Amino acid sequence: MQNEKGITSVLNERRKFKPSPAFSRLAHVKSMQAYKRLCKAAERNPDAFWASLAKEMDWFSPWKTVCDWNPPFAKWFVGGKMNVAHNCIDRHLIGWRKNKAAIIWEGEPGDVRVLTYQDLYREVCICANALKSQGVKKGDRVSIYLPMIPELAITMLACARIGVTHSIIFGGFSAVALCDRINDASAKIVITSDGGYRKGEIVDLKEKVDEAVLKAPSVQRVVVVRRTGIPVAMKEGRDIWWHDLMKGMPDRCKAEALDSEHPLFILYTSGTTGKPKGVVHSTAGYLLGAMMTSRWVFDLKDTDTYWCTADIGWVTGHSYVVYGILANGGTTVMYEGAPTYPTPGRLWEMVDKYHVNIFYTAPTAIRALMKLGDTWPKQSRLSSLRLLGTVGEPINPTAWTWYHKVIGGGRCPIVDTWWQTETGAIMISPLPGATETKPGSATLPIPGIFPEVVDRDGVKAATNTGGYLVIKRPWPSMLRTVWGDPKRYEKQYWSDFPGCYFTGDGARCDQDGYFWVMGRVDDVMNVSGHRLGTMEIESALVSAPAVAEAAVVGKPDEIKGTAIVAFVTLRSGQQPSDALKAALRAHVEKEIGVIARPDDIRFTENLPKTRSGKIMRRLLRDIAVGRETTGDITTLEDYTILAKLRQDED
């Protein structure tokens, strides 16, 4: 399947899993026929399709134009006015949902808070009034640097309520990265906490904020939530405790009628080098995408308890912990800490404790838990689960199968979702009542989304031929620009394939129209003239019984162009050896072919990952070629892994 203008695709997965009739009967989208009707309606008249869905949201003023498309800039629901917080909270207060749990929160030490929609409304209004008391007004920016505690969701919704653009900065970022993001957004206020809990330790956030704001002249106030009780320095005239600021504030605050294109939030993408890249999302279009995909993809019902394990500091947390779920009146679970603390069974114990029905997590988390064996999940019932999801990167078929059998008991459909910070909402995914799934494939586009795999010239790639994944038409939840840098927006996303949004991912489309995402094109290796995606080689390695996780990178080779280097973690009970290396090379050759056989296999106890669970392959490339690490590593969860990998190399 070689394509000189594209990428060689080598993964060959033939298993298929049909939705159960019982699941389909009760699903929002009940059949493939129903899915196709939605797709045809979107293709025939996109404006009418999106307008019909947008009518399910509350509007203060109707729109005049559905989509104003001036490539590459889009405006959606032009002239309409609405408010995201109103759609996520206020409209659920009329009727029984006001007493329904909106957020179920558990801290790593085991403390629990439950906020009903009525509770959430009160807390958000108090916070909104508190922000206004500090001189923040519509159009200003607030930076939020908090652990996964309820105040994080409360603050973002309060900002949305009064038209303040929020910029949530992941709690794992360094003071330097934090400073860069505060300055780029010119934030007036930073909201943080004394710390948060992670793996039994306290992560000191206030100290990083103090260092960052020394070089952030726009910051007028630092608001500090007392979470851990550790002593922190409070600068007089600048710093104020959250509880002191909220004291005496009214618990009613009118939701601002905001233009549909009002910037709801700025989110800085991880792993940036140089100037931070602030992705801007709008109000109406973003919320529509998050709301409808939450309903369709997760088949979200009023009776469901839903849990997405993502940190709200990433876009998955924005869309599928808070906005998309609350817009549907759902119950969302938030968890503060590490998934394996104090034991590797923590997640599964919480599934049972809260009777979680829908569970959404990252493939890296699944592989890490799979590495620990089946003992931990088998100590929990997991009988409440009815749907599983994956997000963040392609999931290899072996991990997919483990997830399906061990966690889902063989009965839960899996929605393998593909999307990005920039897309705002899920773009390619099974709809669980309609789509026959294939392990490793994101399957089919969401109705109204028009992706295509093309070669380097922008020509549609042949079936099962690797190429470049693009989106052919605008969609409501698309990013609007890069904050303060529209030229960067044009160049980065729209210049490679004119008229199309380039995702940066490689993919192929099979004979059934299913999309197989092969990972970032930056991770493609040129091996003896073949452009190979790392994901497929990693998938072959993980399909070996001894392997829990693998990351593949390339290093220069005089003969082949690129030599394949594999970093491999083993399952519990397995021991590294030269014999195992030989066996794994042979296994990859059998699964894919000699072209994909690793030249070098290096065993490691852990792989360098961000706290969101993504493997930082560029760091592994540095190690493979023996060069010093450069660029931004502030999202790396455990810095000791790099030192250990370099020590092993020496």
3-state secondary structure of 643: helix
Q: Is residue 549 part of a domain?
A: yes
Of the listed ranges 89-98, 392-401, 402-411, 414-423, the least confidently predicted one is 392-401
Which domain does 427 fall in, by range? 21-447+459-507
**Final residue of a domain: which of 439, 473, 507?**
507
pLDDT tens digits, residue range 522-565?
A: 766 767 656 576 777 888 899 899 999 998 988 887 766 788 99
The conformational region for residue 267 under phi > 0 = left, psi -120 to 50 = alpha, else beta, is beta
Sheet holding 387-390, edge to edge: 112-116, 101-106, 331-335, 305-308, 358-361, 387-390, 414-416
Classify residue 394 as exposed, middle or buried by CB count within 10 Å of its CB (0-12, 13-18, 19+): buried
Count of CB atoms situated within 10 Å of the CB of 603: 18
**Whole-number Å distance between alpha carbons of 430 and 434:** 8
Is 90 exceeded by the pLDDT of residue 144? yes
User: Cα dihedral sign for 511, 514, 517, 521?
Assistant: positive
Instruction: State how far the alpha carbon of 508 is from the alpha carbons of 281, 401, 473, in Å.
Output: 28, 21, 19
**Whole-number Å distance between alpha carbons of 357 and 331:** 10
Q: Is residue 309 part of a domain?
A: yes
246 and 113 share a domain?
Answer: yes
Is 50 exceeded by the pLDDT of residue 412? yes
Is 50 exceeded by the pLDDT of residue 642? yes
Q: Residue 399 corresponds to which tokens in the numbers above?
A: 């991990």
471 and 602 share a domain?
Answer: no
pLDDT at 14: 76
pLDDT at 627: 77
**Whole-number Å distance between alpha carbons of 592 and 595:** 8
**Triad 285, 289, 293: Cα angle to 5°:** 170
pLDDT tens digits, residue range 570-596?
A: 998 899 999 999 999 999 888 777 778
**Whole-number Å distance between alpha carbons of 484 and 159:** 20
3-state secondary structure of 24: helix
Mean pLDDT of 79-89: 98
**Element containing residue 430 per DSSP (H, E):** none
Where would I find the beta strands (DSSP E) of 340-473?
A: 358-361, 387-390, 414-416, 451-454, 467-471
563 and 631 share a domain?
Answer: yes
503 and 563 share a domain?
Answer: no
pLDDT at 223: 98
Q: Residue 609 corresponds to which tokens in the numbers above?
A: 């990952």
SS3 content of the chain, % helix, strand, coil (to 5): 30, 25, 45
Q: Is residue 2 part of a domain?
A: no
pLDDT tens digits, residue range 24-78?
A: 999 999 999 999 999 999 999 999 999 999 999 999 999 999 999 999 999 999 9
For 139-172, give the DSSP string. T-EEEEE--SSHHHHHHHHHHHHHTPEEEE--TT
pLDDT at 233: 97
Q: In sequence order, which residues have a C-beta less than 8 Å from that of residue 170 and are 6 or more positions away?
A: 270, 311, 313, 314, 611, 612, 635
More confident residue, 520 or 327: 327
DSSP code, position 213: H
Sheet holding 451-454, edge to edge: 451-454, 467-471, 501-509, 515-520
pLDDT at 8: 60
Is 90 exceeded by the pLDDT of residue 17? yes
75 and 148 share a domain?
Answer: yes
DSSP code, position 56: T
Is 70 exceeded by the pLDDT of residue 3? no
**Whole-number Å distance between alpha carbons of 228 and 195:** 6
Looking at residue 342, which CATH number applies to its domain? 3.40.50.12780
DSSP code, position 388: E
Q: Please name which of 264, 306, 253 lies closest in space to residue 288, comparing C-alpha atoms.
A: 264
**Whole-number Å distance between alpha carbons of 218 and 266:** 16
Looking at this protein, which amino acid is placed at residue 273? Answer: T
**Whole-number Å distance between alpha carbons of 492 and 479:** 12
> Helices 175-185 and 206-213 meet at what angle, rounded to 10?
50
Of the listed ranges 475-479, 549-553, 635-639, the least confidently predicted one is 635-639
Phi and psi of 74, rounded to 5°? -125, 145
pLDDT at 273: 45
**Whole-number Å distance between alpha carbons of 346 and 120:** 26
**Whole-number Å distance between alpha carbons of 620 and 639:** 13
Contact 502, 310 (CB under 8 A): no
Is the peptide bond prior to 72 cis by the omega test (within 30 degrees of 0)?
yes
500 and 530 share a domain?
Answer: no
pLDDT at 4: 44
**Whole-number Å distance between alpha carbons of 192 and 169:** 10
Contact 356, 385 (CB under 8 A): yes
pLDDT at 555: 86
Where would I find the beta strands (DSSP E) of 187-268?
A: 189-193, 196-198, 201-203, 221-225, 239-241, 258-259, 265-268
Classify residue 110 as exposed, middle or buried by CB count within 10 Å of its CB (0-12, 13-18, 19+): exposed
Q: Is residue 8 part of a domain?
A: no
Of the listed ranges 178-192, 330-344, 547-561, the least confidently predicted one is 547-561
Q: Is residue 356 part of a domain?
A: yes
Mean pLDDT of 484-501: 95
Q: Is residue 640 part of a domain?
A: yes
pLDDT at 410: 96
Classify residue 568 as exposed, middle or buried by CB count within 10 Å of its CB (0-12, 13-18, 19+): buried
**Triad 169, 451, 481: Cα angle to 5°:** 35
Q: Residue 173 corresponds to which tokens in the numbers above?
A: 């970022």
101 and 192 share a domain?
Answer: yes
Looking at this protein, which amino acid is placed at residue 462? Answer: A
pLDDT tens digits, residue range 600-629?
A: 999 998 888 876 677 888 888 888 888 776
Q: Cα Rg for the chain, rounded, in angstroms?
A: 24
Is 50 exceeded by the pLDDT of residue 498? yes
Is 90 exceeded by the pLDDT of residue 10? no
pLDDT tens digits, residue range 261-310?
A: 999 999 998 543 457 799 999 999 999 999 999 999 999 999 999 999 99
Contact 307, 358 (CB under 8 A): yes
Q: What is the mean pLDDT of the chain?
A: 92
Looking at this protein, which amino acid is placed at residue 144? Answer: I
Task: Report the C-alpha dihedral over residues 635, 640, 644, 646, rounded to 10 degrees.
Answer: 50
Looking at residue 589, which CATH number applies to its domain? 3.30.300.30
Of the listed ranges 319-328, 401-410, 541-550, 591-600, the least confidently predicted one is 591-600
Q: Is residue 453 part of a domain?
A: no
The total number of structural domains that make up the chain: 2
Q: What is the pTM of this model?
A: 0.86
437 and 302 share a domain?
Answer: yes
Looking at this protein, which amino acid is placed at residue 432? Answer: P
Distance of CA 532 to the CA centre of its chain: 25
Distance between start and end Cα atoms, the chain? 39
Q: Is residue 394 part of a domain?
A: yes
193 and 331 share a domain?
Answer: yes
pLDDT-derived band at 346 (thresholds 50, 70, 90) equals: very high
Classify residue 513 as exposed, middle or buried by CB count within 10 Å of its CB (0-12, 13-18, 19+): exposed
463 and 542 share a domain?
Answer: no
573 and 502 share a domain?
Answer: no
3-state secondary structure of 306: strand
240 and 211 share a domain?
Answer: yes
